[in-house]
Amino acid sequence: MSLELQLGLLLLLAALGMPLFAVILGIALVGLQAAGYGEAALTEFYGLGDMPGLIAIPLFTLAGYLLSESQAPRRLVRLSNALLGGLPGGLAIVAIVACAFFTAFTGASGVTVVAMGALLFPALVAAGYPKAYSLGLVTAGGSLGLLFAPSLPLILYGFVAGPIAGDPGVSIPDLFLAGLLPGLLMLLVLSAHAMWVGRSVPAPPQGFDAGELRAALWEARWELPLPLIVLTAVYQGVLAVSEVAALTAAYVLVVTVLVRREIGFHQLPGVMAEAMRMVGAILLILGAARALSNWFIDQDVPGRLYAFVSAYVDSPLEFLLLLNLFLLVVGMLVDIFSAIVILTPLLMPLAAQFGVHPAHLGVVMLANLQIGYFTPPVGMNLFIAAYRFQQPVTTLVRATLPFLLLLGATVLLITWWPGLSLALLAG
C-alpha cells in the first residue's frame, strides 16, 4: 500500500472518530517507516522519561483536581465577592477573576465551566445580570487563566519549545513571566465590559463589608498562599519548576485531606485516578507528536512551510495575523494539548525566520487557542456549557459572541505589541 493511501486511510479513520493520539502516532509510524526507521516513533515514548521537569505536569494536575473536588471554588468566590462585589459589575468581575484563577491551577477549561459555573451562573442571574450575559461569561470565562502560572498548557509549550528554540531560548519560568501581562490585559478588558453591563444591575445593598472581607480572608487562609508559593519560588529562582510542583501538590494534599478534611481517604484514589487519566492522555499525545515531529523534520516540512509562507508574507506582523486566524480554527477543532505539541515544532522555526521571540509566539498561540474553546460552531466549551446549563448550543453561541469579539480584539493587540509579552523578560 502506498504512503499516500495509508495516510488517506488514517485521515478517514480520524473522521470516523479514531482517537487523535492514535491518528498522530499512526501518521508518524507510516511516515517514519517509509523513511526507513519506523522504530524511532516508539523510542520517543521511552524518551519522555528523560525530559527534565516532566514530573511537573502530573503534580500540578493532581493539585488542580484536588482543589476542584474540595470547597476551594466556593471560598474563592466568597473572597473575590468580598473584595470586588461592591463595584459596578462587581459580581461579574468576581466570576472573571475566579474562573481565571481556577483554570490556571486545573489547566482544564471544561472543568472550570462545570465547577465554577454551578456557583456563578445562578448567582449572576439572581443578582439581576441578563441571562445571556451570564451564560456567555461562565462559558467564555472557563478559558481564562491559561496564560497564568502554573497553567498546564503553558508548561507543556515550554517542554516542547525549550529544546528546539535557538537564540533566544525560552524556558518555563520565561513563559510564566511572558503570560502575566497579556493575561491581565484580558481580565481588564472583560472587567471593563462587566462594569458597563453592571450599570443596569442593582448595586448590592450591603456594599463593602470589612467584616465579611475578614471572614472570607480567614476562611481562605489555606488557599491564599498557593499563588505566592508558585510565583515567588519560580520567579525568584528558589526552586525548579518540578520542585515547585511537588511542593504545591503536597501542600494541597495536606490541606484538602488532613487539615480541611473535605476529601476523605476513600475518595482520594478516585480523584488521583481522574487526574492521572488526564496526565496519561497528555503524555500519549506528547509522545505521538514528538514522533510526528521527527518525520516532519526528516521531510524538511518546516523549511518547505517557510518557503511557501515567505512567498506571500513579508513581515512578522503579517505572519502573526495569519497565524491568529489559523490558530482560531485549530482551537475549535483540536484540544489545546494536541495543538501545542503538533504545531510548536512546525511554527517555531517559521517564527524564528520572521524574528518572532519564542516566548511571544507561545503567548500568541495560547491566547488564540483559549479563545477557540468557545468559538462557534464547534468550540468545546459551548457543548460543555450547553450540557451543564441545559441550553441549546445556538443560545450559547449568541451569548458568547460579545466575549469572542472583546477577547479577539485583545489578542490582536497582544499580537501587535510583543513588548507586552517580553517586558518582564527584559527586566
H-helix segments, 209-357: 210-219, 225-235, 241-253, 268-298, 301-310, 316-333, 336-353
The pLDDT confidence band at residue 407, using thresholds 50, 70 and 90, is very high
Measured CA distances, 29 to 43, 268, 337 (Å): 11, 38, 20
Mean per-residue pLDDT for 209-238? 81
Report whether 284 contacts 22 (CB < 8 A): no
Task: Bin 324: left if φ > 0, else alpha if -120 < ψ < 50, else beta.
Answer: alpha
- Determine phi and psi for 151, rounding to 5 degrees: -55, 130
pLDDT for the residue 243: 85
| 363 has pLDDT over 90 | yes
Q: In the predicted model, what is the mean pLDDT of residues 192-209?
A: 76
Taking alpha carbons only, the member of 7, 49, 4 closest to residue 24 is 7
Q: Report the number of distinct structural domains present in the chain.
A: 1
Q: How far apart are CA 165 and CA 382, in angstroms?
A: 35
The CB-side HSE value for 7 (13 A sphere, CA atoms) comes to 11
pLDDT, residue 203, reads 64
Q: Which three cell numbers stand for residue 344?
A: 510548536
At residue 376 the predicted structure's pLDDT band, cuts being 50, 70 and 90, is confident
The answer to whether residue 11 is domain-embedded is: no
- For residue 39, what pLDDT is reported? 66
Looking at the chain, the whole-number percentage of residues with pLDDT higher than 90 is 16
Distance linking the first and last C-alpha atoms of the chain: 56
- pLDDT of 40 over the 70 cut: no
**269-286 tens-digit pLDDT:** 998 998 888 788 778 877
Model confidence at 77, pLDDT cuts 50, 70, 90, reads: confident
Query: Domain range holding 32?
Result: 22-426
CA distance 295 to 304: 13
> 3-state DSSP call for residue 203?
coil
Q: Which residue has the higher pLDDT, 92 or 229?
A: 92
Please check whether residue 8 lies inside any domain of the structure. no
In angstroms and rounded to an integer, the radius of gyration of the C-alpha atoms of the chain is: 22
5: in domain: no
In a domain, 15, yes or no: no
C-alpha cell of residue 129 = 445580570
| d(C-alpha 127, C-alpha 118), whole Å | 15
361 located within any domain? yes
| 104 pLDDT higher than 90 | no
Mean of per-residue pLDDT scores for the chain: 82
Element of type H or E holding 400 = helix 393-416
Winning range, highest mean pLDDT, from 130-134, 143-147, 289-293: 130-134
Q: Which of 26-30, 103-107, 108-112, 330-334 has the lowest mean pLDDT?
A: 108-112
pLDDT of residue 87 exceeding 90, the answer is: no
On the CB side of 129, CA atoms within 13 Å amount to 30
Domain annotation covers residue 6: no
Q: How confident is the model at residue 185 (pLDDT cuts 50, 70, 90)?
A: very high
Whether the predicted pLDDT of 205 surpasses 60: no
For residue 212, is it within any domain? yes
Across residues 241-246, what is the average pLDDT? 84
| 142 part of a folded domain | yes
Give the pLDDT of residue 179: 92
- pLDDT at 198 exceeding the cut of 90: no
Q: Which residues of 242-255 are buried (b: 16+ CB within 10 A; e: fewer)?
A: bbbbbbbbebbbeb
The mean pLDDT value for 14-18 works out to 71
